[in-house]
Amino acid sequence: MKTKIETALFWSCGLLAGAALFAIMWLTLVDVAGRKFFNNSVPGGLEMTEILMVCVIFAALPLVSWRGEHVVFDTFDRFVPEWLRRLQARVVHVLCAATFGWLAWLLVGRAERFASYTETTSYLKVPLWPVAATMAFLLLVTAVAHLLLAILAPRPETLVEHAMHAADTTEGRP
């Protein structure tokens, strides 16, 4: 069952990442077709692709964090008591929240510098401060997701079952 938080993340971050990926697909198609048939590429296509990739990556971070779909090293989990795994999960979420919060703070400073220097992309002259500010906001959303996970940490068995199910489905098993 999806929670309200997961639904909100899907409709905001998920759609942003999906729309940006879809735009990259069409931009690439038009760019390649333009090079092949008209001997001309899309002006500023590389800059647009870079900005859209930022959207894909940073919009996906909160979803990946919330769903626990990141890489997990669980070799020793069967030897660790359940109470310690629960504590470990909470500590890791708090550390991740602090790290993402710190990165968001750094990017806010970068966005302010970009705005004060009126930094733009070289070809299209797109201002860079909104891109950095969006990155900072999405990192902050990821930090909040990790804080919520630290408070509402699922039972370790759920995490292990989720990881095992993900491994089974990626190997072609039902």
Domain count, the chain: 1
What rounded mean pLDDT belongs to the chain? 88
Assess whether pLDDT exceeds 90 at residue 159: no
Assess whether pLDDT exceeds 70 at residue 57: yes
| Tokens, residue 86 | 């629960």
Ramachandran sector of residue 32 (left: φ over 0; alpha: ψ -120 to 50; beta: rest): alpha
The predicted-structure confidence for 116-151, as pLDDT tens digits, reads as follows 999 999 999 999 999 999 999 999 999 999 999 999
Q: If you average pLDDT over residues 32-61, what whole number do you get?
A: 95
| Tokens, residue 6 | 């997961």
Query: How far is 66 from 64, CA to CA, in rounded Å?
Result: 6
Domain around 140:
4-170
Assess whether pLDDT exceeds 90 at residue 70: no
Q: If you average pLDDT over residues 79-101, what whole number do you get?
A: 92
Residue 127: strand pairing partners: 120
